[in-house]
Structure 1
Amino acid sequence: MNILISGGSGFLGSAFSEALIKRYRSENKEVQVTWLTRDSSQPHPVDIKMMTYDELTNFDKSFDVILNLAGAGIADKRWSDARKEQLLASRVQPTEALLAFIACINTKPKLLVSGSAIGWYGDQGDEPLIESSDFNTDFSHKLCDDWEQLALKATDYGVPVAIVRTGVVIHPEGGMVSKLLTPFKMGVGGQLADGTQIMSWISREDWVRAAIFIIEQHLTGQQQAHLNNTGNTLNTANDTPAAVYNLTAPNPVTNHTFTKTIGAWLHRPTFFTLPKFLLKLMFGEMSTLLIDGQKVLPQALLNAGFTFKQPTLKQALEQKV
């Protein structure tokens, strides 16, 4: 497999790259991973090739698969108008570059896997949400939808598209958990607001396994066989297939349960509560990510036969690093 990854050096892209190379080499299969970057001099594993966006415009060879993960972290800063524009641009610009590349090359990729998030569904409380569910409009939805609709334009060039809507990614030494370690270890960790909001999450290992599963399902010709049974097909202006997958574990939890599970894992108390008004004061509009809930289920993955290694939050926190 020859795969191009935007956002390859990130929390998900780096883990995906390592796992893909390890798996394919253990099976004596050829694999080449290339990271698309703005700075080819950045540190990277010796097994990874680097390519700049400028080099991509003149590259005349194809890739079997493109994995599009580039995008600034939605929860990294308050949502000022300038920050909202930055969040959108950090997703749109890399995707536009990939579309321009796809349009120019003679041999098209067999698949474009493009990132998104469960924010696409908007705030829907404890309503179970699967890939065919509707959405509520808010900033998170619009950001995700604009990104998805742009990626789907790859079907205009005959390239199938898989959209992956990712939940909160859990890993003992990275992502959201790493940001929480200090306050929890200090004994000041606690639930947010009333703690009833649902958090849909996935372990990083299962995210990587799911992404590889989706790619291999397509490359081995099995994707179309189960698309009609999963309810996750997307409408396009042509006959090129497109589908969406919720990359979440099958057991979402309330914020209260999440807090207690983190506390138990660290053997620390969780007596504190950050009230809703204080969260809104601290984070502004971005507080919706902490206050509102989404019960997003991975129906398409389960229907396709995917098995989770860490289906519970406790297992995800205790996974081997």
Structure 2
Amino acid sequence: MRILIAGASGFLGTRLTDRLTADGHEVVRLVRHEPRGAGQVSWKPSSGQLDPAAVAGMDAVVNLAGAGVGDKRWSDSYKAELRSSRVDTTATLAKVIAAVPADQRPRVLLNSSAIGWYGDTGDRVVEEDAPAGEGFLADVCRVWEAATGPAEDAGVRVVRLRTGLPLHRAGGLLKPQLLPFRLGIAGKLGSGRQWVPWISLADWISATTFLLGRDDISGPVNVVGPAPVTNAQFTTALAAALHRPAIVPIPGFALRIVLGEFATEALSSTRVLPGVLSRTGFRYQHADLPAAMHAALHGSVR
């Protein structure tokens, strides 16, 4: 397959690109600077600029672009960046895909989304048919997913990847937690009763490649592990994997002082199950948290 990827330099994009290339696919990266080789194409999603010739003839487009949700404190300007970095990229890709002649149009768009779609579900279990929740991230996800509309209307198979929290020592949820846990100065967040929708990095990559090849799957897909855990259980598993104690709980008020508005999202509970993946026969390498944690800390996936 010839696959065009936005966000190829990010934590997930880099590793997905490595896997696709190793599997024999031709990968072209969308970049925001001058191209530095045949495998790169320049674009400016903030102003909707992308040459349709870069999309024509591609078999698939994968969009993983978006500023990191936890990278900075949530000022009004950063919240605007979180939204625009997702919506602008998606809208640009979807409109250009729709504008390409039908016989040269990609067959599928895999577009990143997030379990933030569901908002705080408490102890309620949700699958892909659940409506959008409330809160900033849920609002972003709603607009983000809607931006794929032009591609879908043009007859392209669109899969919206509602990704949970991919686990690997090199990035994502785990990386910033490793040092405090190793120092024994970490613990559960708030009450610890909130649900955490994790997935191993290896399973995220496998699920994404699985969805690329399944012509019968479209719409939202929860890319999460099959056994969500509470934050307290997650904390215990991480501490055990590192052979360290986890006896310093972080109260909610402290998180709000440090993180500001983002603390509300960090303390929210999202009990999400992978309904589509389970029903379509996807097989997990790491179906429980201890296995995923071991792979995250000691596995070979870069």
TM-score, structure 2 length as denominator? Answer: 0.91
SS of the aligned residue for 1:59 comes to helix
Alignment match, 1:202: 199
CA drift at 1:56: 3.7
Distance in 2, matches of 1:201 and 1:211, equals 15
Alignment match, 2:60: 65
CA drift at 1:40: 4.3
Alignment match, 1:35: 29
Output one character per residue of 1:4-38: Cα deviation in whole Å (capped at 9) or x when no partner: 00001111111111112222x3xxxxx21011110
CA drift at 1:308: 0.5
CA drift at 1:41: 5.7
CA drift at 1:199: 0.3
Alignment match, 2:139: 142
Are 2:79 and 1:103 aligned? Answer: no
User: What are the equivalent positions in structure 2 for 1:1-321 lying under 5 Å apart?
Assistant: 1-23=1-23, 25=24, 31-40=25-34, 49-53=39-43, 56-57=50-51, 59=53, 61-106=56-101, 107-218=104-215, 223=216, 242-319=218-295, 320-321=299-300
SS of the aligned residue for 2:22 comes to helix
Are the counterparts in 2 of residues 99 and 154 from structure 1 also a CA contact under 8 Å? yes
Aligned residues: 290
Are the counterparts in 2 of residues 172 and 317 from structure 1 also a CA contact under 8 Å? no
Are the counterparts in 2 of residues 172 and 318 from structure 1 also a CA contact under 8 Å? no
Distance in 2, matches of 1:41 and 1:216, equals 28
Output one character per residue of 1:103-146: Cα deviation in whole Å (capped at 9) or x when no partner: 33212110111000000000011110100112321111001111
Distance in 2, matches of 1:152 and 1:16, equals 25
CA drift at 1:252: 0.7
Distance in 2, matches of 1:3 and 1:40, equals 20
Are the counterparts in 2 of residues 108 and 158 from structure 1 also a CA contact under 8 Å? no
Distance in 1, matches of 2:266 and 2:199, equals 17
CA drift at 1:316: 1.4
In 2 relative to 1, CA 135–94 (structure 1 residues): closer, same or farther, beyond 3 Å? Answer: closer
Q: Percent identity?
A: 37
Distance in 2, matches of 1:293 and 1:281, equals 20
Output one character per residue of 1:253-277: Cα deviation in whole Å (capped at 9) or x when no partner: 1111111111111111111011111
Alignment match, 1:239: none
In 2 relative to 1, CA 64–41 (structure 1 residues): closer, same or farther, beyond 3 Å? Answer: closer
- Give unmatched runs, 5+ long, in structure 1: 26-30, 228-241
Output one character per residue of 1:225-249: Cα deviation in whole Å (capped at 9) or x when no partner: xx6xxxxxxxxxxxxxx41100000
Output one character per residue of 1:89-115: Cα deviation in whole Å (capped at 9) or x when no partner: 111222222123213321211011100
CA drift at 1:173: 2.6
SS of the aligned residue for 1:189 comes to coil
Distance in 1, matches of 2:138 and 2:171, equals 25
SS of the aligned residue for 1:250 comes to coil
- Give unmatched runs, 5+ long, in structure 2: none
What is the CA RMSD across the aligned residues, in angstroms? 1.7
